[in-house]
Amino acid sequence: MADVYKALADDTRRILLDELAAGDGKTLFELCATLTMRHDLTLTRQAVSQHLAVLEDAGLVATERRGRSKFHYFTPEPLAEIARRWPIERNDT
């Protein structure tokens, strides 16, 4: 579970997760372009790839290779586990 918290500690990785949650199955090229155009973040492909590796190691991203392309998918289960472990109590008054 510690890897999940480490992965979520970085703003760029949270943005990457948001982008994958909005539309799964994105390539590294698509994610780099999205970071630049939507979020004004200019990172090298290698830097984005390293962020994705951290997310994958934490179980938050799964990948699938199709031909020469590698597609990245958001995996919400680790976040759902956190929510089940520590549910938020609501006080509706």
Q: Where are the domains of the chain?
A: 2-85
Taking only the tens place, the pLDDT of each residue in 24-75 is 799 999 999 999 999 999 999 999 999 999 999 999 999 999 999 999 999 9
User: What pLDDT does residue 85 have?
Assistant: 83
User: What pLDDT does residue 44 have?
Assistant: 95
Q: How many CA atoms lie within 13 A of 83 on its CB side?
A: 5
Whether the Cβ atoms of residue 7 and residue 55 lie closer than 8 Å to each other? yes
Number of Cβ within a 10 Å radius of residue 34:
20
Q: SS3 of 33, please?
A: helix
Whether the Cβ atoms of residue 48 and residue 35 lie closer than 8 Å to each other? yes
Alpha helices per DSSP H over 40-87: 45-57, 77-85
pTM: 0.86
- Please tell me the CATH code under which domain 2-85 is placed: 1.10.10.10
Adjacent-strand bridge partners of 61: 74
Provide the greatest CA pair distance for the chain.
Answer: 55
